[in-house]
């Protein structure tokens, strides 16, 4: 596909993000099932529900612009999720696994934070204020999800993993 206009670049970024959210939703459920600390399990399940809403927001924006929401599969997210699965397969012990789950989830979140930050900036450049607001809402949710994971890591999981 050739991209020769700024708006097409914006829509392509959104199409990537749909795929990112789609893959993440599935991965979060698997990660929640593998988690042991109740706070971590809950955080992953909560963010799974949020992820589905974020995907619907993106689909809504793309449909409004007449673009296909299923046009792209994001290979970077595929690779990050593959790494997560590989790491989980190597870990022995519940506490250590939880610490690794948080580290992996935060990599995934930071990728999303970067992608939403860029997409919101592109929307602003195009003066698509409604889009920008929606994308900014999702960006803030991603940052919050990341902060919750940091709290869980610092508050309990990493200390337990260190003591294990």
Residues that bind Fe ion (CB under 5 A): 51, 54, 112
**At its nearest, how many Å lie between Fe ion and the CB of residue 80?**
13
**At its nearest, how many Å lie between Fe ion and the CB of residue 54?**
4
**At its nearest, how many Å lie between Fe ion and the CB of residue 7?**
23
Which DSSP state fits 140?
H
**At its nearest, how many Å lie between Fe ion and the CB of residue 122?**
17
Q: CB-wise, 42 or 160, nearer to Fe ion?
A: 42
- What span, in angstroms and rounded, lies between the C-alpha atoms of 132 and 124? 6
Q: CB-wise, 54 or 132, nearer to Fe ion?
A: 54
The full 3-state SS of the chain, as one line of letters, equals: CCCCCHHHHHHHHHHHHHHHHHHHHHHHHHHHHHCCCHHHHHHHHHHHHHHHHHHHHHHHHHHHCCCCCCCCCCHHHHHHHHHHHHHHHHCCCHHHHHHHHHHHHHHHHHHHHHHHHHHHHHHHHCCCHHHHHHHHHHHHHHHHHHHHHHHHHHHHHHHHHHHC
Q: CB-wise, 7 or 143, nearer to Fe ion?
A: 143
Beta-sheet strands, E only, within the chain:
none
Q: CB-wise, 23 or 54, nearer to Fe ion?
A: 54
**At its nearest, how many Å lie between Fe ion and the CB of residue 48?**
10
Six-digit token pair at 18? 């749909």
Q: CB-wise, 23 or 51, nearer to Fe ion?
A: 51
């Amino acid at each position: 596909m050739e991209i020769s206009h700024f708006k097409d670049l914006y829509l392509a970024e959104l199409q990537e993000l749909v795929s990112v959210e789609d893959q993440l939703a599935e991965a979060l459920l698997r990660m929640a099932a593998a988690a042991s600390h109740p706070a971590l399990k809950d955080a992953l399940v909560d963010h799974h529900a949020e992820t589905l809403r974020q995907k619907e927001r993106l689909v809504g924006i793309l449909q409004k612009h007449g673009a296909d929401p299923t046009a792209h599969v994001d290979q970077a997210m595929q690779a990050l999720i593959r790494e997560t699965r590989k790491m989980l397969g190597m870990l022995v012990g519940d506490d250590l696994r939880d610490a690794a789950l948080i580290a992996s989830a935060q990599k995934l979140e930071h990728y999303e934070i970067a992608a939403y930050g860029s997409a919101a900036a592109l929307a602003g450049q195009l003066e698509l204020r409604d889009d920008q607001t929606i994308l900014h809402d999702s960006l803030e949710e991603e940052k919050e999800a990341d902060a919750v994971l940091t709290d869980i890591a610092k508050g309990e999981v990493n200390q337990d993993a260190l003591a294990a």
